[in-house]
A and B are shown apart, each in its own frame.
Chain A
């Protein structure tokens, strides 16, 4: 044996700092990733979802910004509704740079054999396009393609129109009173995005051709776009300012290339926010897995913790060491998540770049990645600090006594406070990063409530199970005692399965309600057609004709103008601070009407309606929710610009509107004499009692377009199909995003069951030693899962239905019908699958030989 040693005394007070904490954490990491796969996967999945959504949205925003000139069709665009620019206005625009004029409107085309289709007409001048190129099939010079030849103007049409009417280049069509010849398919249109959603395929023609159609009547719903290519883009602001000064009452909507497609940008922003919230939901669900992993990890490390404390480590040091270790492991998940999330936009661009109808600039967006990283780190910290805090008080005496089921205590107050602070930081980040903070707050509150309720239910179930009189059947007794015994799976299973089921049911309810809205039978009172651009001098003729052609249908007709709100209470519109839900009203021109009576579908809620013979100063009736959103009330004055003239009116009353009736509804309804002298057209709806048949509708469509070629017919079913197509694409995206959360829930559940199996080895071995068969034990576990599953189904269906209901009613403003059957069936299937997987994992555990385990007890 070696000689005795003598070493100098240790310093009386050393200050081992952060470096030692990291060093010890790194040594602990040598234990490998066992028990941390679910932890890492949960963090990676959530971070990937958020990073991907953020990067994708930034890619779109960047693409839109970069391609602003192409999207807008110029450096600056001036948009006028229902009227062309005056000579002075046009001269001003032409003096600032290269000018291109484009007119868009809806119209009907007819084939020689009488078939009709609604088209979105775009009439262009020779300067078009200022940016980008038009692609046609076959390729041709644009001016030549659209020129008048053999008595017909040339047009290029969206391939959809060619398919719908079975047309080939060379086909002759009629639009309004002009003959046109289809000469090419329109494959690429650089400024397509600026146009928004079209109800019909695009028809490209020359401005001369449009003028020849006779569709340009006073008050026709035509949109004139004047685009400018400026010598230098820096002159855009000066041009806009000069336009505002020289033509203060022009009523034009002015956009610059930096603001080319604000509606689209807002939609991208909003949708990415919803998807981010789904990503956050995945992180929160994954958080349970994170907490479970940390808890089981620390349970395994109990002896090591006690040992470290026995040789001088303080409780805070131990917590710090393990906190650093789990953060290192979380970093691994975060790195994987960030890499996957950052790569996704590049993959999308590589594989689907050509079919994305948006300018898209895949790149690394550090801001978005930093946000995802923050969420990942905060999730890891929030969900691990609680179980880690418990390590602070692990007694060293545990090394002297075998404790089968260590007592669960609350962590010391400092860790509870830290959890609260970090969770608050998570919530503040989520709200601060949100476009719509209200929705983010609702999400946070809902998440906290759901967590709280689920944990509360789990506790109730455990208390209830502990108080149930002991059943005589051994299996049932075992199943029930498994529910409330120390270390029971109940809280984890209820949290992960409950959240998963709630989400599943929420998505299902939204899905089915949305699908029903757009694909199920229309409400009986829904009209079959909107007829727009009915000349005001032909309304009697139109009425008589429709009544003759569709005697059983109900015809409603009102004057229709387009106007932009340019101010309220003396404040310019751009300085008003609307609530998000009302902002859209100020963003563009709106349909407005005037009438002496309360419109059908409206209900007066505040104030009085004007007298039928009212002829005093102009009054206006405002939709109540929008007025509230704009902060307006009775007596306030608003100014709208119609056809280049400003009209002011005082708010006389507020209405609520049943938008779901699909009837003619307006936010703004004016008193009859408000627009004296303003030319306008009328809009009509035709409603068949009980809904129109296809043959009835087709016949009426043909008859009206034959006799009134300038009137545009929008078939409601076709329009709804168009909208449904877009909505269902969104639903698909929501489903895909939600599936991430479901995957997280499944992983958490799988992790919990796997961890539970380790705990169960002990029970199983003891019970087998005492004579229990594997089948008996399996039956007990199956019963336990079933009992937990049943309670979770009740919660999942209830919480999911409530969430679905509020989202459908409040966010989507659609009617809600509870789809109980599918929800319950889905929940039951999910629980049964869970049970099967749980039992499949349990079977090998039961097969362990008792001796091997008993030797280690």
Chain B
């Protein structure tokens, strides 16, 4: 199978984790973070990952995004067993199929808002990268700010750019790690509204790490982690 192809049949889950174990650190500092985690996330589903600090939610998100490889277990994302991909194939897969929104935005400071959004498209070889990027920025309400550098944007604007960047390649899965963690409540609320609007409009899956209970409740399902285990799953819809 082509390393970036999507093979999502009608019953194929968007994310499938089977018996995932992961330890991090070296020697005495090695910690068993994910303990035999199995999870199915359906196509078009919004899932909130919650739990106390150190429970493994961000690590689980990284495993789903192919940023950490489990020591044991299988990870299927958008129909692709990402354990079979080498680093470069995984990077290309991520570029097309997974959009990531970080708590700290992580825009590239030397690029304008437009360029930041265009980069994943350029990397994916899209000939119309800047046209698409402009449309994405307009969609997040930043049509007037496309030539601005990250340092010239407010925190909320930066996160909108980050969201546009994550959505631009039309990913199958959008993962967000505390997307409002660095924003005030009002701005955070706007970002979340925007995210859910775009989620609803596009045929994709959303996985969200948050400490914010009301935010988690906006998802179709909430998964609570504790000490590397799935403690409980609550369907909110």
Contacts and interface: CB of A to CB of B under 8 A. Distances in A.
A498 interface: no
A400 B33 CA distance: 15
Contacts of A307: 106-108
Interface string B161-192: 00001100110000001000000000000000
Given A4-B139, A7-B132, A28-B110, A312 B169 contact: yes
Given A10-B126, A312-B120, A397-B62, A27 B198 contact: no
Interface in B1-30: 2, 4-5
Interface in B94-137: 94-96, 100, 102, 104, 106-111, 115, 119-126, 132, 135-136
A30 interface: yes
B91 A5 contact: no
Interface residues of A, number: 43
Contacts of B124: 10-11, 14, 16, 312
B139 A5 contact: yes
A732 interface: no
A1 interface: yes
Given A2-B138, A308-B119, A314 B201 contact: no
B95 A313 contact: yes
A315 B120 contact: no
A9 B123 contact: no
B23 to A, nearest CB: 14
Contacts of B104: 399
A396 B65 CA distance: 10
A313 B123 contact: yes
A27 B107 CA distance: 13
B197 interface: yes
Contacts, number: 130
Contacts of A15: 125
Contact of A10 (B67, B108, B109, B121): B121
A393 to B, nearest CB: 8
A432 B5 CA distance: 51
A395 interface: yes
B68 interface: yes
Interface string A312-332: 111111000000000000000
B68 A4 contact: no
B126 A11 contact: yes
B202 interface: yes
A683 to B, nearest CB: 77
B62 A311 contact: no
Contact of B91 (A30, A304, A315, A397): A315
A34 to B, nearest CB: 11
A31 interface: yes
A400 B169 contact: no
Nearest to B194: A1
A800 B193 CA distance: 69
A311 B197 contact: no
9 contacts: A1-B197, A7-B170, A9-B170, A12-B2, A13-B2, A13-B125, A20-B122, A393-B87, A400-B61
Given A20-B123, A303-B106, A400-B61, 19 more contacts: A2-B140, A4-B198, A5-B201, A12-B2, A15-B125, A16-B124, A304-B110, A306-B106, A307-B106, A307-B107, A308-B123, A310-B100, A310-B106, A313-B91, A396-B62, A396-B67, A397-B62, A397-B67, A397-B68
Interface of B: 2, 4-5, 58, 61-62, 65, 67-68, 87-88, 91-92, 94-96, 100, 102, 104, 106-111, 115, 119-126, 132, 135-136, 138-141, 165-166, 169-170, 177, 193-194, 197-198, 200-202
